Structure 1
C-alpha cells in the first residue's frame, strides 16, 4: 500500500478555510471575554459604592436613634 505525496489545491483551500474559521472564532471569544471583564469591573465599582452607602445608612440610623432617645427623654 502506497500513499501519494501530492498536496492538492482543494486540501490547501480546506486548511485555509478551517484556519480562517478558527481565527474568527478566537476573535469573537476574545471579544466576549473582554465584555465580561468590563462588566465585572463595573459590578465591582457598584459593589464598592453599595458598601459605602450601607455604612452611611448605619451612621444615619445611629443618629436617628440618638435623636429619638433625646426626644423621648425630653418628653418625660
Structure 2
C-alpha cells in the first residue's frame, strides 16, 4: 500500500519512522510517498499525529520504503 504525507500548512512537518528512528522534515507544501509492505497481522502499521509532527510505525517485521517529492528514494534507516 502506498500513501502520501503532505505538509499542507505554512510550516514544515517532521515525520519519524519507527522502529528505525529515521526522521525527515517535509517543507511547507511539499510531500513524501510511503509504501508499506503487506503485513502478516491484523494491523498494517500505525500513524500518530502530534503537535511536533507524525510518527509512522512500520508493520511488524517489515520495512517501509519512502520517496521524496522529486522521486528519490530515502533511507528508512535515517539520513
Instruction: Give the TM-score range, shorter chain.
Output: under 0.3
Structure-1-length-normalised TM-score: 0.12
- Asked which structure has the greater RCO (Cα within 8 Å, sep 6+), the reply is 2
Structure with the larger helix share: 1
